[in-house]
Structure 1
Amino acid sequence: MPSASSPFDQSFFQIGLEWGAEGLARLAPADIVVVVDVLRFSTQAVDAAAAGRTLPLAGSGSVNGARVAAAASGAVVVAGCLRNAGAVARWIVAEQHRRGDRVRVAVIPAGELTGPSEPGPSQGGCVRVAIEDQLGAGAVIAALGDLGLDHSSPEAAVACEAFRSLRGAVRHLLLASGSGQELVDRGLRDDVLHAAEIDVDDVVPVLRDGVFRAGSH
């Protein structure tokens, strides 16, 4: 983790945002990490929790979100997406009340890996910004702001306002995005539309012992 003096660690703010596992490593330590991988890891975790099932990191079938979750050591890790953004915000506020102290939140849109599966300086891999994850992260941050947790970094504020201004176009944007078109080409258009629904689930998957399951306080 970076020192508190790093200009990129967003340590001054209660809510920070960075992209992927590499971005998470740049942030100051957080109490809660929200992994946002809308197509499809986080949405799968929410679907599983809503059905009373669990989603293990191993074998989840989604590299991007699972990779971020595995990297988030020392924090409570939850899965957030468009479908449960409001529920995640309420869960975080309840967790802050339970602890009786201010919690620091890192919202991490997973993006998509390009190049090697384990990117780094020598391998040349990188994280592609995915608009569905930016919108999902923005939805969580906007919901936190609505509940009074609005001390957001500039990076988090930009995602929040992008979601607020584009909320009415989310369905179209996800379908038209590169990630959405990739799934449509595979015959998974309904999956994209399912992931594009906003605040329709009230469950918050929490990572414990390598498995996401419905969380409670």
Structure 2
Amino acid sequence: MSVSGQRDAGVRFAWGEAGARACGGDLAVVVDVLSFSTTLTVAVERGIEVFPFRWADARAAAYASECGAVLAVGRSEARDGEVSLSPASVRRAVDVDRLVLPSPNGSTISSALASSGTTVLGGCLRNAASVARSVADLLDEGRGPLTVVAAGERWPDDSLRPADEDLWGAGAILAALDDRGVGGFAQEARTAERAFRSVRDELGRALVACESGAELIGKGYADDVAIAGEVDSCEVVPILEGERFVPR
């Protein structure tokens, strides 16, 4: 797959793990608004170290045991007081300082990029401005190129389903970079930035109406969608150091 047009740019945009690998770059921001990266920001701002993990099965339980961490279970499996991928459950959590967070999208992409030597940050609507500030500093230090990765969702055959909320989350970070005077955008990055600007004034309504948001609300997780829409409420920028996300 050729991405020569983006490889000439300092700021790139990609969908999913394959797109991120194709774009390359020494620095990446992984955006999975509903809900990995939103849950990540809630956890890290509470002082919780987050260990991303690809699989949500017995391997995750074994890994959590090795890390001395709590395992986040699936939303539908969570009992009262248990932590899940739901950011609302993490916000309510008590006595949790290490968390294994399985996710087929955000966790998988983060771990895959880190294994190739890429510096990985976690971004979403909640911390878009803070991520842009950190990224601008890193670019000034000579780090980069940058790829902002919209995680997307999965179809039943496990192929990538582009997700509006991740386009907007990536676009929010790119818009904040643009506002800071960062240049060198690939056309794909510019398109994501403009997509966010087009919906910014009605973002709450858009999150509720988009496919992923409507699905979560229908399953009783309206709080998670509301938390995801807390634009620029979080100053923490999670960075993946070794196997865990910590505040940068």
TM-score by length of 2: 0.77
CA RMSD of aligned residues (A): 1.5
Q: How many aligned residue pairs are there?
A: 200
Q: 2:56 aligned with 1:24, yes or no? A: no
Q: What's the CA shift for 1:108?
A: 0.3
Tell me which of 108, 111, 118 is aligned to 1:67: 108
Q: Distance in 1 between matches of 2:160 and 2:166?
A: 12
Which amino acid in structure 2 is aligned with residue 133 of structure 1? D
Q: Distance in 2 between matches of 1:175 and 1:112?
A: 16
Q: Distance in 2 between matches of 1:170 and 1:35?
A: 20
Structure 2 residue runs of 5 or longer lacking an equivalent are 54-99
- Structure 1 residue runs of 4+, over 3 Å off? 6-9
Q: Which residue in 2 is equivalent to 1:120?
A: none
Give the secondary-structure state (helix, strand or coil) at the position aligned to 1:151: coil
Q: What's the CA shift for 1:115?
A: 3.2
Q: Which residue in 1 is equivalent to 2:136?
A: 93
Instruction: Answer whether contact 1:8 1:26 (CA < 8 A) is retained.
Output: no
Q: Which residue in 2 is equivalent to 1:114?
A: 155
Q: Share of identical aligned residues, percent?
A: 38
Q: Distance in 1 between matches of 2:27 and 2:5?
A: 15
Aligned pairs for 1:1-217 within 5 A? 6-8=2-4, 10-27=6-23, 29-58=24-53, 59-72=100-113, 73-97=116-140, 99=141, 101=142, 103-116=144-157, 125-215=158-248
Q: Distance in 2 between matches of 1:129 and 1:8?
A: 22
Q: What's the CA shift for 1:84?
A: 0.3
Give the secondary-structure state (helix, strand or coil) at the position aligned to 1:60: strand
Q: What's the CA shift for 1:8?
A: 4.8
Q: Distance in 1 between matches of 2:21 and 2:136?
A: 24
Q: What's the CA shift for 1:9?
A: 5.9
Larger Rg: 2
Structure 1 residue runs of 5 or longer lacking an equivalent are 117-124
Give the secondary-structure state (helix, strand or coil) at the position aligned to 1:38: coil
Q: What's the CA shift for 1:126?
A: 1.5
